[in-house]
Amino acid sequence: MNKTTLAEFLTHAELAEPALRGMITDIAQACKAIAVQVNKGSLLGTMGSLEAQNVQGETQKQLDVISNDLFLQMNQQGGHYAGMASEEMDEPYLIPERYRQHGRYLLLFDPLDGSSNVNLNLSVGTIFSILRCPHGISEPLVMDFLQPGSAQVCAGYALYGSSTMLVLTIGQGVHGFTLDQDSGDFVLTHATMQIAASSNEFAINMARQRWWDAPVQRYIADCQAGSEGPLGKDYNMRWVASMVAEVHRILIRGGVFMYPVDARTREAGGRLRLMYEANPMAWLVEQAGGLASDGQQRILDITPQGLHQRVAVYLGSREEIQRMATYFKA
């Protein structure tokens, strides 16, 4: 059986941005290095938490910092980026001058999504998003990163689960590559991934139910009512506490993922980060035929106001997201 490697896929793809070939290759190498660290975490003694907190006010895991450093180091050397921004850093990272002389792009990333799961040996991942650097800017500031998700030129994630996968879009559908441990190559195993239009599965943190707004309360209550309720079908609920794992499941078998604004997160604007999580995942979902909304508008149309801005997220199967929108308009 012929196997198409990531390198071969990129060679034959019609790339609107030729530099994407090198950028995606560097990202893939960084994800392989992070996968090794995740797999060997207990053996290396790097599974614990640090005393430090990141800009989000979250206690950092040792693997958060290790993954962040690996992603910076392995992606700056290709010379493609003028700057990078990470969920783990307060301010943008300015690429050393020797690497950014010709950098025309910006890289945003969450180095280890779902890191609270690492001690449980559950799936975690890395999320990334590539933007063009504004023309004439060689030392990008925060404002240069504040572009809507519709401006992305590449987005994707790596999933560190039973196998390591790289899933990405360059605006021509969504494709998944599985790491062959023997050859060290990412191999195309999930071409042109599509999200089922309808679904009977939802993912939400039910522990926060008492703080949800009325539209979310009504929608989940109708789902729980099952075939005897107004939606006329029985639903299953899932929750992994890793956005990468949740979105990957939706790409494979459909469903919806929800992280609403609630009474506890309203002041912050929500729980998930627009630039590092919502935008790249929203573009992947849309490229696979699904929808992504903050409850009021398309996520990819939001104009960011801050590097670490938070938003509500509802994404997944088209019919369910459209149905949910009617609850917000009622």
Residue 19 has pLDDT above 60, yes or no: yes
293: closest CA among 262, 258, 248, 327?
258
Average pLDDT, the chain: 93
**Alpha-carbon distances of 47 from 91, 97, 241, 245, rounded to whole Å:** 26, 34, 17, 19
Global model pTM greater than 0.85: yes
Do 169 and 205 belong to one domain? Answer: no
Per-residue pLDDT tens over the stretch 213-256: 999 999 999 999 999 999 999 999 999 999 999 999 999 999 99
Q: Mean pLDDT throughout 56-68? A: 77
Q: Of 155, 190, 225, which marks where a domain is finished?
A: 190
* Domain CATH code at residue 37: 3.30.540.10
N-term to C-term CA, the chain: 53
148: closest CA among 319, 292, 249?
292
Binding site per annotation, positions for Mg(2+): 87, 110, 112-113, 277
Return phi, psi of residue 212, to 5°.
-70, 155
Binding site per annotation, positions for substrate: 113-116, 205
Do 213 and 178 belong to one domain? Answer: no
Do 183 and 220 belong to one domain? Answer: no
Residue 135 has pLDDT above 70, yes or no: yes
For the chain, how many structural domains are there in total?
A: 2
Per-residue pLDDT tens over the stretch 293-304: 999 999 999 999
Residue 71 has pLDDT above 90, yes or no: yes
Query: Distance between CA 197 and CA 74 in Å, rounded?
Result: 38
Per-residue pLDDT tens over the stretch 122-134: 899 999 999 999 9
Residue 166's DSSP bridge partners are: 158, 177
Residue 18 has pLDDT above 60, yes or no: yes
How sure is the predictor about 46, in pLDDT bands with cuts at 50, 70 and 90?
A: low
Binding site per annotation, positions: 87, 110, 112-116, 205, 277
Do 45 and 167 belong to one domain? Answer: yes
Q: Of 136, 170, 190, which marks where a domain is finished?
A: 190
Q: What is the pLDDT of residue 124?
A: 95
Q: Of 170, 190, 210, which marks where a domain is finished?
A: 190
Residue 44 has pLDDT above 70, yes or no: no
Return phi, psi of residue 114, to 5°.
75, 25
Do 41 and 151 belong to one domain? Answer: yes
